[in-house]
Amino acid sequence: MSQIIQWIEIGTIIRSLGCCPSEGELHDLIAEVEEEEPTGYIRFEKFLPVMTEVLLERRYRPIPEDILLRAFEVLDPAKHGFLSKEELIKYMTEEGEPFSQEEMEEMLSAAIDPESNSVHYKDYITMMVIDEN
Amino acid sequence: MGSGVSTQHHFAFQNAEKAFKAAALIQRWYRRYMARLEMRRHCTWSIFQSIEYAGQQDQVKLHNFFSYLVDHFTPSSHNENPGTKPSGRDAGAAFGNELPESLRHLPHSLRDFLNRMFTEERSPQDSEMENCRDYESIEVPDSYTGPRLSFPLLPDHATALVEAFRVKQRLHARYVLNLLYEARKHLVQLPNINRVSTCYNEEITVCGDLHGQLDDLIFIFYKNGLPSPERAYVFNGDFVDRGKDSVEILMVLFAFMLVYPKEFHLNRGNHEDHMVNLRYGFTKEVMHKYKTHGKKILKLLQDVFCWFPLATLVDEKVLILHGGVSDMTDLEFLAKLDRHKIVSTMRCKTRKEHKKQAEKGKANQTSSAGRPSPWFLPESHSLPTSPLRPSSQKAHRAGRSSSVPCRVPLDPNELSHWVRHSVDLELERCRQQAGFPVIKEKEEPLPLASEADSEAEGRPEPTQEAWRQVVDILWSDPMAQAGCKANTVRGGGCYFGPNVTERLLQKYNLQFLIRSHECKPEGYEFCHGRKVLTIFSASNYYEVGSNRGAYVKLGPALTPHIVQFQANKATHTLTMRQRISRVGESALRALREKLFAHSSDLLVEFKKRDKDKTGLITLSDWAAAVESVLHLGLPWRMLRPQLVSSLTDNKLEYKSWLKNLAKEQFSHENIQSSLLEALYRNRSNLETIFRIIDSDHSGFISLDEFRQTWKLFSSHMNIDVTDDCICDLARSIDFNKDGHIDINEFLEAFRLVEQSCSKGYASDC
């Protein structure tokens, strides 16, 4: 048997099981599976029943492509079809559940078209969705 | 108007709320996307690591094979069997005159090798390394435009050397040997545990594994600054193997060590070992870069390697060593042992003790009792306490845990001693062949008497303990659970838990441990409550984009400050998505190849789960079957979409899947697929064997040698191949029909060289 052990965040696991919780929802979920005195580790025996229920209830469903598009359109009321780099940064770091600097940089690296310094969100979404599959 | 304003506010508020919600939605989606990417990265990492460790276990099989040969090869004190080919050795050496039938067909070169490795050669001369000044006679042609060295070295020379290598120049063999010789002189004076102290202003930088990746070393010097009296460095082992510039790395490290002996420190790693180098590419690199003098260089290196200090201690507070520790680690003992005797941590059986006993007229012990037990052997030869036999785990854990399983005392004449002997003999032969006068040396007194006595009395053998202690610190890995158990993945050393670390730190009043030995995605990792720091300096180790490298600077009060890097400009411009997908592809390729290599066994397992003979199995069954054959511990169901493309009714048609795997792998349709499978499965061992057979490092082995060796190997490994098959195979590889096989062509023809590996000389990825 392999002895290779990797440290994986519980949030990563939950998300890769098909769930799409918000940070707040994730926080609540973790509180449910944590030890009474948090050790920094989650025990599988505690995690399994909670997670099973989440999956059976189909909680935290992923976001359909069209809803995602509409979200971008809300941020682009003038219907330009794109968001400037500054706008994207402002929304992602000041609104909702703000990104960390690292998250912001990573998103920018893939989303921003360097020539126009903006993100054409329709294309961006299409690209990301294809990539997932 | 009021209502107008409030409506405005209302709208504004609504819009703000909408924007907030929209942003939150996008963030939620994005975080899930990143999590899935992260998961993919973890899977890829698992694939690489498990394949890497499985490769290390191949070493076990190889030793098994050699031991099996040795079992049938009984040396005696009589003269050489007239039926065998002359070996060209001194009259003093002797071969068995009771060679079994099978061994009479052993290729000459392989027999030589076994002879060298497994028996003692008695030689009237024991040439001391100190007098190995061959390099002085090597001429450097005027046309040579590479760097020239003169000793004693000056800082400028060392810097110039780095620059020369940066522009891809090559150092002439004469200077290589000269530098090695000088390095050895210096290393010999160092203690086993190098003690270093920081003055108020001095900074110490500790670097981990480099594995022949010169770009990373140059980057570190560029970013952190060149070594100087104010800038101390500790390099924590594994300078060579896998990467393509191991020679250059060694040259640079040795140059700075000679220039700044008080500030520049090197620890031994498990790859500073000629046996490991045979498999992992360093030997190959040397022979390729130095066709004429390579062998000489390798011999000298073999000795230099065992003179590396085993650990470095900074301010008596921070212990730096390559692998880790065990519950038996004894620093005082380590400080006192004769580290030079530990030539290789890969141990072999020996019959030497047998012979010595006979000579001394002692009672002839039976072979099984007198034979020192091999360390790695997992099968019948091994004793109950072998780390590789699960049934022994209990007994193992009761006592100590890690490396040495021997119940019987070791041969008093330490393996390393006669390896050194045989090394000297080889050198001597080299010299003789080259026409140098034979140097008459006083025979080195062999410490026989006392040790033989102690062995007879059954007292534990000090050198055995020494060997165990060294293996522990060079091969062990930390684990999360408490305790200390045998490191079965690597085949040596142990896994040590936080309590073991704590006990050691307390016992010796240390602050923390710095070690390397394991690749980490971020180039470093803390564990055991930040008491153990793993530092790994070979970036992009598995593949471009696979991991960062890192080094650690010890500041005032020895607080660690980590610096990360990735020595490949290309990766900076790739997004994480692109990086991960690239790495993922090559990992999957490697995995598919492994699957192909076990096609027959997989088919058996699939059939077992297809009782109704429908030709289909469920995905759960598929995952279970694959794991039961490959034992890689990978999340097969997660990987399934990448490995299995089409499903019928949510089930897998396994026969056609296996066929597709095969199609991807090879182009020689006329070669029997089971043979190919066997070749793929054992390719790293095969390559090592080839290099051993090719004793003059010409790059060619004769058809006969290949056939005989392959026959022996396959019969030992229970690989079912007919004679005709082997002949066909051999003939098909002999492209120019001259009775010789070019090793590299052979490997290339069957794509046995890891293609996803972008490194030049690595034989294993």
Whether B271 is catalytic is: yes
Percent of chain B that is helix, strand, coil (3-state, to 5):
50, 10, 40
pLDDT score at B568: 65
The chain B residue lying nearest A72, using CA atoms, is B22
pLDDT score at B366: 34
Find chain A residues with C-beta within 8 A of B495's C-beta. Answer: 3
Element (H, E) at B663: helix B654-665
* Minimal C-alpha gap between B393 and chain A (Å): 14
Which residues face B526 on adjacent strands? B533
Residue B333 burial (CB count, 10 A):
14
Mean pLDDT of B357-374: 34
The yes-or-no verdict on residue B493 having pLDDT over 80 is: yes
**Does the CB of B495 have a partner CB in chain A at under 8 Å?**
yes
Q: Poorest-confidence range of A74-78, B69-73, B238-242, B749-753?
A: B749-753
pLDDT score at B719: 67
Six token digits for residue B743: 């090793």
pLDDT score at B155: 92
Tell me the count of A-B CB pairs closer than 8 A: 123
> What are the tens digits of pLDDT across the range B198-212?
875 578 999 999 999
- Tell me, what amino acid is at B101? E
The chain A residue lying nearest B486, using CA atoms, is A3
| Long-range Cβ pairs for the range B433-442 (8 Å, 24+) | B436/B134, B436/B137, B438/B125, B439/B125, B439/B127, B439/B131, B440/B125, B441/B125, B441/B126, B441/B127, B441/B128, B441/B131, B442/B126
The yes-or-no verdict on residue B758 having pLDDT over 60 is: no
Find chain A residues with C-beta within 8 A of B42's C-beta. Answer: 6, 8
Distance CA B500, CA B487 (A): 15
pLDDT score at B394: 34
Looking from the CA of B113 toward its CB, the CA atoms found within 13 Å total 23
DSSP B658: H
Contact A20 B32 (CB under 8 A): yes
Residue B450 burial (CB count, 10 A):
9
Distance CA A7, CA A5 (A): 7
The yes-or-no verdict on residue A71 having pLDDT over 90 is: yes
Distance CA B543, CA B675 (A): 29
Looking from the CA of B390 toward its CB, the CA atoms found within 13 Å total 2
Rounded to the nearest angstrom, the gap between the alpha carbon of residue B645 and the centroid of all alpha carbons in its chain is 35
Pairing of strands B651-653, B616-618: antiparallel
Find chain A residues with C-beta within 8 A of B483's C-beta. Answer: none
Closest by CA to B304, choosing from B274, B335, B259, is B274
Mean pLDDT of B158-167: 93
Contact A5 B479 (CB under 8 A): yes
Mean pLDDT of B137-156: 89
- Angle between helix B2-71 and A65-75 (nearest 10): 130
Of the residues B63, B211, B271, B528, only one is catalytic, namely B271
Mean pLDDT of A108-121: 88
Closest by CA to B486, choosing from B399, B407, B555, is B399
| pLDDT band, residue B665 (cuts 50/70/90) | low
Mean pLDDT of B276-290: 87
Q: Label residues B283-317 b or e (16+ Cβ within 10 Å = b).
A: bbbbbbbbeebbbbbbbbbbbbbbbbbbbbbbeeb
For chain B, what percent of residues have pLDDT higher than 90? 35
Find chain B residues with C-beta within 8 A of A132's C-beta. Answer: 33, 36
Residue B556 burial (CB count, 10 A):
9
Residue B187 φ/ψ region, left for φ over 0, alpha for ψ in the -120 to 50 degree band, beta for the rest: alpha
Contact A15 B53 (CB under 8 A): no
Burial of B361: CB neighbours in 10 Å, binned 0-12, 13-18, 19+: exposed
| pLDDT band, residue B514 (cuts 50/70/90) | very high
The chain A residue lying nearest B47, using CA atoms, is A4
Find chain A residues with C-beta within 8 A of B26's C-beta. Answer: 68, 71-72, 75, 91-92, 96
3-state secondary structure B322-350: CCCCCCCCCHHHHHHCCHHHCCCCCCCCC
B389 vs B738: which has the higher pLDDT? B738
DSSP B568: -
Peptide bond into A38 cis (omega under 30): no
Q: With beta carbons less than 8 A apart as the criterion, state whether B269 and B236 touch.
A: yes
* Minimal C-alpha gap between A73 and chain B (Å): 9
Burial of B220: CB neighbours in 10 Å, binned 0-12, 13-18, 19+: buried
3-state secondary structure A20-36: CCCHHHHHHHHHHHCCC
| pLDDT band, residue B97 (cuts 50/70/90) | very low
> What are the tens digits of pLDDT across the range B538-563?
998 987 778 899 999 998 788 999 99
* Minimal C-alpha gap between B53 and chain A (Å): 9
Distance CA B101, CA B760 (A): 41
pLDDT score at B705: 76
pLDDT score at B690: 76
pLDDT score at B429: 43
Mean pLDDT of B678-696: 73
Find chain A residues with C-beta within 8 A of B34's C-beta. Answer: 103, 106
B71 vs B483: which has the higher pLDDT? B483
The chain A residue lying nearest B32, using CA atoms, is A15
Six token digits for residue B23: 């942003």
> What are the tens digits of pLDDT across the range B441-457?
333 333 333 333 333 33
pTM of the model: 0.67
B431: Cβ contacts below 8 Å, ≥ 6 apart: B134, B438, B439
**Does the CB of B633 have a partner CB in chain A at under 8 Å?**
yes
> What are the tens digits of pLDDT across the range B420-433?
444 444 444 434 43
Six token digits for residue B390: 């699960």
- Tell me, what amino acid is at B413? N
Residue B620 φ/ψ region, left for φ over 0, alpha for ψ in the -120 to 50 degree band, beta for the rest: alpha
pLDDT score at B468: 87
pLDDT score at B461: 32
> What are the tens digits of pLDDT across the range B596-649?
888 889 999 999 999 999 999 999 999 999 999 988 878 888 788 778 888 888
Mean pLDDT of B748-752: 55
Instruction: Output the DSSP codes for B367-412.
Output: HHHHSPPPSS--STTS-TT-TT-GGGHHHHHHS--SS---SSPPPS
> In this complex, which of A63, A70, A95 lies closest to B23 when CB atoms are compared?
A95
For chain B, what percent of residues have pLDDT higher than 70? 64
The yes-or-no verdict on residue B317 having pLDDT over 60 is: yes
pLDDT score at B552: 96
Contact B45 A68 (CB under 8 A): no
Contact A96 B27 (CB under 8 A): yes
> What are the tens digits of pLDDT across the range B692-741?
777 666 777 777 777 777 777 777 767 666 667 767 766 766 666 777 77
The yes-or-no verdict on residue B372 having pLDDT over 50 is: no
**Does the CB of A113 have a partner CB in chain B at under 8 Å?**
no
Distance CA B402, CA A71 (A): 58
Contact B19 A2 (CB under 8 A): no
> What are the tens digits of pLDDT across the range A83-98?
999 999 999 999 999 9
**Does the CB of A23 have a partner CB in chain B at under 8 Å?**
yes
pLDDT score at B375: 33
Max mean pLDDT among A2-16, A116-130, B176-190, B744-758 falls in B176-190
Distance CA B58, CA B537 (A): 25
The yes-or-no verdict on residue B399 having pLDDT over 90 is: no
The yes-or-no verdict on residue B71 having pLDDT over 70 is: no
Element (H, E) at B484: strand B484-486
Instruction: Output the DSSP codes for A61-100.
Output: PPPPHHHHHHHHHHH-TT--S-EEHHHHHHHHHHSSSPPP
Distance CA B668, CA B679 (A): 13
**Does the CB of B26 have a partner CB in chain A at under 8 Å?**
yes
B427 vs B15: which has the higher pLDDT? B15
Across chain B, mean pLDDT equals: 73
Contact B33 A128 (CB under 8 A): yes
